[in-house]
């Protein structure tokens, strides 16, 4: 079936679909909608995040309920406040031409009496989190005894979160003859149990392979010593100046800590987890959506269902306990036809998990090395050069030009360029020039790509090439492109690292002449492709392992607990150092006030693009740049 008309939806809904710009139904919609419209049946639908499940149950529900009645007829349970609001808002959009429709969202952290009032006004559909729903039932604030349709959305996640009893309790207040539609990305035992217990002969539909990840996401893993995890994260961010990412941690505590550290180190980061108030979470999500936050550090639960397109990287700071969860994480990127990268930082003891994940997602990981300091320096410099090149001239500067010109009267262009870039660039350079190698060698012979150990080879040439993601390349495509153009063998091009507007790759030294000769006069899609030998070798070889341990500048010095407050000037340490939960909360509260105060001097200016303010190291206290105003949550 190929159009919404053919699915049997009514005019009001089709009208809204046109407004929304949905051209054709997604697979889960094509399968579920006709089925649900036709008869009152129970349904189990398995489809991963981002496949359009909301509309798959939303349209049939909107069509089937009696809008002229003010009785609550549809109940949708979903695991988090964010999802609850997201679903309620979607439903309102879908039903914008259904006159008299009232969809009410019920969730914790907001006024219960407001919500009760909205229900009383005649909510035909309630979208609720289980906790608040149960609460309102016990206070007689809702009547769900006439429900005809109930939806368990993200059922696996609700069960993960321990809502089994709440759900059971809630459903016991609904009539037996209602239809139940269960939507889930995965089908663990617990979901099967729920289906068996609460549903009558459900029809099952599966979209795609259960748990399989989308094809436009590539998967990479980075092996590091556990104590270098945070440094590795920073390098991955620094090596991708245009990163817009979700970073997953296992616990709320780690989430908060990593976000705080990143903010302290000058990154535009924010934390999203269940210990934050509703208001704080809304603010974080808003900043993330407007790109004021470039790195959103989140727990699995809090990030579930977040619908933000254009996420370039998902970083698994820690792998999830349940490896199935990896699919949800990586599904945050590579949406809306874009490509994305899912990176995993692992320590040696976790490499086994990579193999298990590969089996689940049916894709291979590429083992990559944490970029060396010099690699990052080069990336940052080229990114800066690109940005300067693409900057539109601001003529407000004209009136000051005379004095600036005077200052540089004796400086030739070359020197001026050098000076200009040095001004921006020295921080990175100074920080990284003596940095140690974070890569850990895996036990022999387990490397991908034919067992080549790139790290040790000093016989490679590393190249810079001026095409990148924005030219439609990811590492696989660029590798294929190079192999094809240069007529090279399977393993001749390696260590391909694609950035936004440029990339790096390696070949054996013997091939250098051929590569450079080929690209002296080569056009791709009407543009000259320029390839140069890169100054750094990628990994320099030698001196790996633990040399310089405890001395390297980006080495973690504090040791215990993996905390990283080592090099902060005293006055900037926060009270949360003690790690005590209560204290952390109160420190956050006081930080809220601070960020409110700060928001004044920030004005409306976005600071997402001021990457120059990012300080690779918290102890670069010699830096006299203004600190980027911090945003807590």
Binding residues for ligand ADP, rule: CB under 6 A, are: 22, 25-26, 29, 47, 49-55, 305, 307
User: What's the min distance (Å) between Cβ of 86 and ligand ADP?
Assistant: 7
Residue 476: Cβ within 10 Å count: 13
Cα separation, 397 vs 381, whole angstroms: 24
Residues 6+ apart with CB under 8 A from 434: 373, 552, 553
Q: Which is nearer to Mg ion, 51 or 255 (CB)?
A: 51
Residue count, binding to Mg ion (CB under 5 A) = 1
User: What's the min distance (Å) between Cβ of 304 and Mg ion?
Assistant: 9
631 binds Mg ion (CB under 5 A): no
473, 467 Cβ separation under 8 angstroms: yes
Q: 50 contacts which partner out of Mg ion, ligand ADP, none, CB within 5 to 8 A by kind?
A: ligand ADP
Q: 22 contacts which partner out of Mg ion, ligand ADP, none, CB within 5 to 8 A by kind?
A: ligand ADP
Cα separation, 96 vs 610, whole angstroms: 40
Residue nearest to Mg ion (CB): 53
Reduce the DSSP state of residue 159 to 3 states and report it: helix
Q: Which is nearer to ligand ADP, 50 or 371 (CB)?
A: 50
Q: Which is nearer to Mg ion, 53 or 178 (CB)?
A: 53
User: What's the min distance (Å) between Cβ of 55 and ligand ADP?
Assistant: 5
Q: Which is nearer to ligand ADP, 91 or 315 (CB)?
A: 91
Reduce the DSSP state of residue 64 to 3 states and report it: helix
Which stretch, 9-17, 53-61, 229-237, 598-606, contacts Mg ion (CB under 5 A)? Answer: 53-61
Among 31, 53, 281, 332, indicate the residue that binds Mg ion (CB under 5 A).
53
335 binds Mg ion (CB under 5 A): no
User: What's the min distance (Å) between Cβ of 30 and ligand ADP?
Assistant: 9
How far from each other are the two terminal CA atoms of the chain, in whole angstroms?
Answer: 45
User: What's the min distance (Å) between Cβ of 158 and Mg ion?
Assistant: 12
List Cα–Cα distances, 439 to 270, 285, 504, in angstroms.
27, 33, 18
User: What's the min distance (Å) between Cβ of 14 and ligand ADP?
Assistant: 12
Q: 361 contacts which partner out of Mg ion, ligand ADP, none, CB within 5 to 8 A by kind?
A: none
Tokens of 407: 């200052």
- Burial code (b: 16+ CB inside 10 Å, e: under 16) for 14-32 equals bebbeeeeeeebbebbbbb
Decide: residue 293, CB within 10 A, 0-12 exposed, 13-18 middle, 19+ buried: buried
Q: Which is nearer to Mg ion, 56 or 344 (CB)?
A: 56
The 272-291 contact track toward Mg ion, x by CB under 5 A, reads --------------------
User: What's the min distance (Å) between Cβ of 51 and ligand ADP?
Assistant: 4
Torsion, Cα of 477, 482, 485, 486 (10° steps):
-160
Residues 6+ apart with CB under 8 A from 442: 223, 348, 351, 367
Tokens of 118: 């909205």
Sheet of strand 494-498, all strands in order from the earlier edge strand to the far edge = 494-498, 503-508, 460-465, 531-533
Q: Which is nearer to ligand ADP, 154 or 633 (CB)?
A: 154
User: What's the min distance (Å) between Cβ of 32 and ligand ADP?
Assistant: 11
Q: Which is nearer to ligand ADP, 47 or 496 (CB)?
A: 47
Contact positions toward Mg ion, by CB under 5 A?
Answer: 53
């Amino acid at each position: 079936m190929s159009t919404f008309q053919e699915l049997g939806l009514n005019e009001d809904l089709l009208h809204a679909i046109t407004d929304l710009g949905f051209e054709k139904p997604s697979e889960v919609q094509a399968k579920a909608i006709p089925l649900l419209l036709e008869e009152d049946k129970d349904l189990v639908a398995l489809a991963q995040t981002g496949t359009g499940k909301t509309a798959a149950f939303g349209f049939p529900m909107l069509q089937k309920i009696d809008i002229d009645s003010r009785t609550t007829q549809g109940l949708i349970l979903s695991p988090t406040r964010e999802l609850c609001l997201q679903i309620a808002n979607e439903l309102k959009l879908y039903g914008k031409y259904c006159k008299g429709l009232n969809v009410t969202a019920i969730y914790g952290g907001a006024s219960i009496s407001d919500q009760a009032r909205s229900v009383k006004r005649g909510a035909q559909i309630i979208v609720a989190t289980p906790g608040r729903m149960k609460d309102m039932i016990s206070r007689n604030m809702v009547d769900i005894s006439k429900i005809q349709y109930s939806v368990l959305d993200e059922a696996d996640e609700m069960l993960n979160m321990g809502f089994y009893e709440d759900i059971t309790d809630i459903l016991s207040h609904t009539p037996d003859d209602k239809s139940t539609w269960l939507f889930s990305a995965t089908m663990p035992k617990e979901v099967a149990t729920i289906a068996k217990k609460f549903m009558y002969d459900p029809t099952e539909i599966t979209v795609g392979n259960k748990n399989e990840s989308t094809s436009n996401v590539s998967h990479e893993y980075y092996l590091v010593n556990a104590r270098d995890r945070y440094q590795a994260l920073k390098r991955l961010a620094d090596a991708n100046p245009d990163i817009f990412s979700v970073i997953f941690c296992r616990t709320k505590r780690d989430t908060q800590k990593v976000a705080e550290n990143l903010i302290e180190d000058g990154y535009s980061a924010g934390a999203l987890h269940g210990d934050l108030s509703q208001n704080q979470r809304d603010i974080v999500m808003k900043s993330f959506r407007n790109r004021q936050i470039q790195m959103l550090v989140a727990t699995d639960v809090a990030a579930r269902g977040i619908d933000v397109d254009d996420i370039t990287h998902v970083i698994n700071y820690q792998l999830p306990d349940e490896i199935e969860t990896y699919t949800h994480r990586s599904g945050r990127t590579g949406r809306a036809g874009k490509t994305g990268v899912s990176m995993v930082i692992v320590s040696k003891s976790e490499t086994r998990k990579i193999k298990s994940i590969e089996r689940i997602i049916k894709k291979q990981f590429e083992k990559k090395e944490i970029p060396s300091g010099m690699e990052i320096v080069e990336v940052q410099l080229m990114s800066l050069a690109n940005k300067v090149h693409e900057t539109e001239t601001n003529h407000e500067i004209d009136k000051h030009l005379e004095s600036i010109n005077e200052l540089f009267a004796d400086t030739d262009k070359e020197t001026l360029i050098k000076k200009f870039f040095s001004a921006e660039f020295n921080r990175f350079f100074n920080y990284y020039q003596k940095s140690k190698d974070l890569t850990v060698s895996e036990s022999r012979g387990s490397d991908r790509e034919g067992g080549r150990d790139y790290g040790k080879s000093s016989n490679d040439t590393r190249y810079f090439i001026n095409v990148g993601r924005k030219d439609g390349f990811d590492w696989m495509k660029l590798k294929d492109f190079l192999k094809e153009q240069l007529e090279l063998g399977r393993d001749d091009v390696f260590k391909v690292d694609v950035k936004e507007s440029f990339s790096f790759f390696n070949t054996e030294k013997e091939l250098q002449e051929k590569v450079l000769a080929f690209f002296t006069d080569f056009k791709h899609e009407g543009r000259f492709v320029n390839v140069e030998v890169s100054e750094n070798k990628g990994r320099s070889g030698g001196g790996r392992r633990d040399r310089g341990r405890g001395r390297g500048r980006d080495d973690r010095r504090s040791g215990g607990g993996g905390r990283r407050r080592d090099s902060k000037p005293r006055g900037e340490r926060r009270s949360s150092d003690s790690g005590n939960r209560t204290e952390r909360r109160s420190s956050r509260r006081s930080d809220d006030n601070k960020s409110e105060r700060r928001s004044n001097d920030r004005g409306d200016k976005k600071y997402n693009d001021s990457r120059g303010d990012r300080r690779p190291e918290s102890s670069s206290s010699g830096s006299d740049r203004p600190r980027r105003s911090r945003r807590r949550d």
